[in-house]
Structure 1
Amino acid sequence: MKTIQRSLAEPEAESTKAPRRSRVSGMDRALQILDHLYTTGEPAGSYAIAKAIGAPLSTVYVIIDELVERDMLSRRPEGLIWLGPRLYHYGLVYARSLDFLGEASHVMHELGREIGETVQICGRDGDHMVVLAMADGPGHFRVMSEVGTRVPLNWTASGRLLIGHLPDAERIAVFRRSAKASPTEKAKTDAAALSELAGQAFKERLSIQISETDFLVSCVAAPICDASGACVATISIVLPEHKVVANPDLYGNAVRNASEAIESKLGWRER
């Protein structure tokens, strides 16, 4: 009997040690779908989404249908899936709750009226720069980027500033994994050179890029630093290349004054 009891007990012990198969909840799948669309920045079909997040197509179909019904996602006429209007309304409410973005947007619009060009507030999203707010200039010149646009940090003046406060080794590590060739092929990709540019721009509180992302388009940016001295965002002027070349001091001084005004309003800088 003892032998029989041991033989019956052994499989039971093994079963308790066997790892449990983890199940992904419907909520997790929904977030994976939303994160995928946010990260890629473009509509996608159900099959492509399922393949990208590693989920069964049947499961993705069901979740997408439920999210579309609730306006969390939208289905375009050609069948592609994109973020829905409900998310936009949530974003508006969240944005209103941020003192920083409120103060920064006020200064952004003032600078736009003063300088007569497009002005943006940008932040960091991992290895990317993202446009947080934007005021279009009054003229015919229009920039390709808009609120929500994400580009690699090495492409823009703002991107370099956003990690300019970090130690040199950290900046190099960020650029090594994230630097990519820009559409104009003018953006630097060498991590050490980019780190040096970022550190110098942050020290001078001014970064200028010319035609690195779009031909004949330039950006003049200044850092917005919190009380600890870290760059939490930037304010930048986006304008035609020839204007910056003709009068860099005008735009440089204007954007630096604007960044200092935001820092003062938020109590991050001594008045």
Structure 2
Amino acid sequence: MAMSDGIEAAEAAAPAARRTRVSGMDRALQILDHLYETGAPAGGYAIAKAIGAPLSTTYVVIDELVERSLLVRRPDGNVWLGPRLYHYGLVYARSLDFLSEASHVMHALCRTVEESVQICGRDNDNMVVLSMADGPGHFRVSSEVGTRVPLNWTASGRLLVGHLPEAERIAIFRRSAKASPTRKAQTDPKTLAELAAKALEERLSIQISETDFMVSCVASPICDASGACVATISIVLPEHKVVANRAFYADAVRAASETIERNLGWRDHGG
């Protein structure tokens, strides 16, 4: 009877222990997500306030993450993402056949058009730059790998949701659309949903000065075998070049996206 009672007590305690571990893991992920989303180092107090966690708990979790090199503590006391995450990311990137193939085509397109080229994906309600090749000229874009912006600000952002049902597209833009720095980005959810579907159908999306003044983006979708847009390839260049030679850049970026799809087996070789 005593042994039975002991087993029952242990079994009752196990779920509580698991919950504690899960809770600690959740707090760690909340801290990492907060730093990732804000893109800047922060102190324990600011992090605790942002994620709604007790200050004492936040400090304990931060210390554990620092000990494991998942975070680094800076001279000013703030913490930032650590080198262990970088090494994990490198291994993950090497395992992505898609990104490897897309990067080859991205660099080839960069040489052809002599402008900066990006591979972009979707991160919930944002577009994120996955890979980038800088153009050879003096023109430089403000975004870099890891940059996240609202979907409605970019040509790529519209394409990334273009395959979704209309109601879902509208819902996404209703909660995520924001005014851009130039105030030129469309914010009406229904209009954005229509533009997204049309852009995917035409395999081309162009934005001019919607995010940055005098900067344009010409993008084409990279669609998997089911037709879902999993990423985009885009040319980022000065506005006047798109106006002067729209067809050249449109044809080049479409051809690049089709090459990626074909090489990955997502498109018929004759298509």
How far the C-alpha of 1:156 sits from its partner, in A, is 0.1
Name 1:191's counterpart in structure 2.
189
Q: Choose the corresponding residue for 2:235, options 231, 234, 237.
A: 237
Describe the shift of the 1:43–1:229 C-alpha distance in structure 2 as closer, same or farther (beyond 3 A): same
Number of residue-to-residue matches in the alignment = 253
The equivalent of 1:65 in structure 2 is 63
Distance, in Å, in 2 between the alignment partners of 1:75 and 1:239 is 38
Structure 2 residue 86 is matched with structure 1 residue 93? no
> Residue 204 of structure 2: which of 206, 217, 239 is its match?
206
**3-state SS of the aligned residue for 1:139?**
coil
CA distance in 1, matches of 2:218, 2:77: 40
Higher mean alpha-carbon deviation, 45-54 vs 121-130, is at 45-54
Letter in 2 for 1:207: S
- Say which of 231, 246, 249 aligns to 1:248: 246
**CA apart distance, 1:88:** 1.0
User: Is 2:221 the counterpart of 1:223?
Assistant: yes
- 1:40 offset after TM fit, Å? 2.2
1:28 equivalent in structure 2: 26
Question: C-alpha displacement at 1:76, in angstroms?
Answer: 2.4
Structure 1 residue ranges without an equivalent (≥5): 1-19
Does the residue aligned with 1:180 lie in a helix, a strand or coil?
Answer: coil
- Of residues 55-64 and 96-105 in structure 1, the stretch that sits farther from structure 2 once superposed is 55-64
Q: Structure 2 stretches of 5 or more lacking a match? A: 1-15
Report the counterpart of residue 175 of structure 1 in structure 2: 173
One-letter code of the match for 1:240? Answer: P
Letter matched to residue 36 of structure 2: Y
Secondary structure, counterpart of 1:185 in structure 2: coil
SS at match of 1:120: strand
1:171 is displaced (CA, Å) by: 1.0
Cα distance in 1 between the residues matched to 2:143 and 2:78: 22
User: What is the Cα deviation at residue 64 of structure 1?
Assistant: 1.3
3-state SS of 1:203 partner: helix
Please give the root-mean-square deviation of Cα atoms over the aligned residues, in Å.
1.6
Give 2:106's aligned residue: 108
- Give the TM-score normalised by the residue count of structure 1: 0.90
Shift of 1:190: 0.4
Amino acid at match of 1:248: R
Matched with 1:79 is 77
Identity, % of aligned positions? 80
| Higher deviation after alignment, 133-142 or 70-79 | 70-79
Bigger mean CA offset, 32-41 vs 253-262: 32-41
How much has 1:54 moved relative to structure 2? Answer: 1.9
Per-residue CA distance 1:213-269 (angstroms, 9 max, x = gap): 011111000000000011000000001111111101111000000000000000000
User: Residue 264 of structure 1 aligns with which residue?
Assistant: 262
1:44 aligns with 2:42: yes
Larger-Rg structure: 1
